Amino acid sequence: MNRFVFVFLLVSLSFGQNIKLYLSLIEEGKIEGVKENLPELISKYPNNPSVLYLKALLIQDGNSAIKLYKDLLKKYPNSKYAPNSAMKIGEYFYARGLYTQAATLLKNIPIKYPRYADIQRVTNLMVNSFNAIGEADSARYYALIINSMFPNVDTGIDILSDNNKPLNQVFDFNKKRPDLGPYVVQIGAFGSEKNAKRLKLQASQLGHDVSINKVDSNGKRLY
C-alpha cells in the first residue's frame, strides 16, 4: 500500500517537483524508491541534466559517478546542478588524495559559480589541497580572490598580518605523510538503517570501502 501511495504521489507531481522530491528522498536515505523510478525518468528525459545528476548520485562506483558529473558539466555547464557536480568531483579528488587535481578544480568554483551555497567548504578544501602539495603562494593568491568576493568566508589565512612573513611560518606544508597502512574508521552511528545506507552511498562514491554493521547498545540497535 505504501509503495502504491509513493508511486501515485510521484505521478501526480510535475517533473520539477519530482526532482526535488527525489533529492529529498536521497538525503533521507530512501534510495530504493528513487532507484525504482530512475529508469522511467531516463527513458522520458534522457537529455535532462536533472536526471543525469540523480543518476550520478545513485551510483556507488566513484569513477562511474565522476564520469557522469563530468558529462553534466560538459553538456550543461549552465545547469543548476553544475556547481554541485563540480563540487562532487572536487570532493572525490580530495578524498582520494589527488590534491593537485582537487586544487585545480576547486579554485574555479567560487569564481565560476559565485551563487554556490557552500563557498566556505569549497574554500576549506581548496586551501588544504594547495597546502598539501606545498603551493602556499597559490593558496594565498586564491584566498585573496575569494576574500574580495566573499568577505564573510574564512579562508584560514591571515592575509593582512601575514603578508610579510616567510611562507614557511604561515603554512604547515605537510609535504610528506607517513604510510600508516590500512585502517578502519567509524563514520557514523544511526538508529535508522536508511540513514546509514545514505551515508554509505556518499562514502562509496568517494572511493571508500564501506560496510554497515549492526550494534546493540543500551537496548537500542545502531547501524
| CA angle (208 as vertex; 124, 203 as ends), nearest 5 | 60
What's the confidence (pLDDT) of residue 4?
45
pLDDT digits (tens, 9 = 90+) for 170-193: 444 454 544 544 555 555 566 677
Of the pLDDT bands very low, low, confident and very high (cuts 50, 70, 90), residue 67 is: very high
Query: Regarding the domain delimited by 86-177, which CATH topology (the fold level of the hierarchy) does it fall under?
Result: 1.25.40
Residue 33: C-alpha distances to residues 49, 75, 101, 174 (Å): 20, 27, 35, 44
Res 159 pLDDT > 80: no
Residue 113: C-alpha distances to residues 59, 109, 197, 212, 213 (Å): 25, 5, 30, 36, 39
Pairing of strands 215-217, 220-222: antiparallel
Average pLDDT, the chain: 79
pLDDT digits (tens, 9 = 90+) for 109-131: 999 999 999 999 999 999 999 99
CB count in 10 Å sphere of residue 49: 20
For residues 171 and 139, the answer to whether their CB atoms sit within 8 Å is yes
SS3 state of residue 221: strand
Rg (CA), the chain: 20
What's the confidence (pLDDT) of residue 122?
96
